[in-house]
Structure 1
Amino acid sequence: METSDVWRQSFTDARSTLDRVLESPDFLDRCAQFSQALIKTYQQGGNAFSCGNGGSHCDAMHFAEEFTGRYRKDRKPLGALALGDPSHVTCVSNDFGFDHIFARQLQGLGRKGDLLIGLSTSGNSNNVVEAFKAAKDMGLFTVALLGRDGGKLKDLADLAIIVPAETSDRIQEVHIKVLHTVIETVERVLFPENYN
């Protein structure tokens, strides 16, 4: 296969995944529920926490910095943090085990009224599962961005958004689209002057 063919196939596959998302009966409704939950969290003075592994952790960090930094235009920062500070991760991994890296940090920083977003293409990442269990105990609303069949997190989350795809690359591409759109919807409600 020629390099140009690989490029064409990759973009065709990505478009096909987005088409399946748009054809899914409740995918966009669930995304809108995510927006409403996050808007409510911020209106009530709460913060958002995010977590994931590998590329999903990069998306979790990207999501958080868009709120504390900026998305499209300057505005007041909103409270968001991607769990997973390196010194914390190495400490907790060494002392408690890798499965507890997100839960322990969330237990130290989170408060009732906050929101946790977990990203996992399989839905079975043990450290994200443990974070969701901790969030439930603490009274946080939880949103899981998943793929495949949703895994364990599908049933632990208050709101599960499952990308209808099987490969991590396609799933993560939709996850970042969901996150960007959630950020835009939050800004449109809380900072409407930026969208006039």
Structure 2
Amino acid sequence: MLEARIQQQFFECADLMYQVADGLARPIADAAQAAVGCLTSGGKLLACGQGGGQMLAQWLCSALMLRFERERPPLAALALGPSLAQPLQATGELAGDSALGLALQVRALGQPGDLLLACSAGGEDAALLAAVREAHAKEMSVVLLSGPAAEASALPTLLGETDVWIAVPHERPARVHELHLLVLHALCDAIDLQLLGDAEPS
């Protein structure tokens, strides 16, 4: 019984991968082109998320700064931290509003031409909404990784023509996080392909 349930986790994940491969290939390619365009023109990638999305943002920036599967020069990528509510208590304007922590980091660090990657497995997220709005105010493009719940939120409605939306159509957050990690693997590989050419990873 227990082994069958564990096997079902693998089967469900594998089935989802096959189902979404065709539909996600184009937006991942668009995101890779946006990232390369940003990084090769002197811009930087800022990544953020909530919960598991924060860990994925940190992983992505480590892969870009250090390496994914091939040696290359470091790429300008920075994972934004969790809520800054406590240190901001003295500001007055934003005191106690933890949702604005990510947006403040985008405001402080973002520049026109930079790229924000926001990762959310859930739906409505005030912190990510504020971060995306701030990115657009700074003339940055946005790549949004989401699950299906985001369709009912305001997040997709904020996206513009230069933004990319990568949505994993599954109700279980665990499956969404697994596919988000695969999306980031594919994204890093596509970035390296564009920068380094077609070669086998070492």
Could you state the TM-score of these two structures normalised by the residue count of structure 1?
A: 0.90
1:78 aligns with 2:75: yes
1:13 aligns with 2:15: no
Amino acid at match of 2:115: L
Equivalence for 2:30: 33
Equivalence for 2:155: 153
Equivalence for 1:4: 3
Equivalence for 1:108: 108
CA distance in 1, matches of 2:89, 2:9: 36
How many residue pairs get aligned? The number is 192
Unaligned runs of 5+ in 1: none
CA distance in 2, matches of 1:9, 1:178: 22
Q: Give SS of 1:81's match.
A: strand
Equivalence for 2:48: 51
CA RMSD of the aligned region, Å?
A: 1.9
Check the 8 A contact 1:20/1:164 in 2, yes or no: no
Q: Render the CA deviation track for 1:88-127: whole Å, top value 9, x for unaligned.
A: 4542478341101110011111100100000111241110
Alignment match of 1:65 (pick from 50, 62, 65) = 62
Are the structure 2 counterparts of residues 62 and 23 from structure 1 closer, same or farther at C-alpha, using a change threshold of 3 Å?
same
Q: Give SS of 2:38's match.
A: helix
Percent identity among equivalent residues?
27
1:91 aligns with 2:75: no
Are the structure 2 counterparts of residues 160 and 123 from structure 1 closer, same or farther at C-alpha, using a change threshold of 3 Å?
farther
Are the structure 2 counterparts of residues 93 and 181 from structure 1 closer, same or farther at C-alpha, using a change threshold of 3 Å?
farther
Unaligned runs of 5+ in 2: none
Amino acid at match of 2:64: F
CA distance in 2, matches of 1:192, 1:91: 44
Check the 8 A contact 2:118/2:143 in 1, yes or no: yes
**Worse-matched range after superposition: 50-59 or 185-194:** 185-194
Q: Give SS of 2:46's match.
A: strand
Are the structure 2 counterparts of residues 145 and 85 from structure 1 closer, same or farther at C-alpha, using a change threshold of 3 Å?
closer
Are the structure 2 counterparts of residues 20 and 89 from structure 1 closer, same or farther at C-alpha, using a change threshold of 3 Å?
farther
CA distance in 2, matches of 1:20, 1:137: 36
CA distance in 1, matches of 2:29, 2:198: 21
Q: Give SS of 2:142's match.
A: strand
1:185 aligns with 2:190: yes
CA distance in 2, matches of 1:121, 1:85: 16
Check the 8 A contact 2:88/2:96 in 1, yes or no: yes
Are the structure 2 counterparts of residues 184 and 113 from structure 1 closer, same or farther at C-alpha, using a change threshold of 3 Å?
same
Q: Give SS of 1:58's match.
A: helix
CA distance in 2, matches of 1:55, 1:7: 21
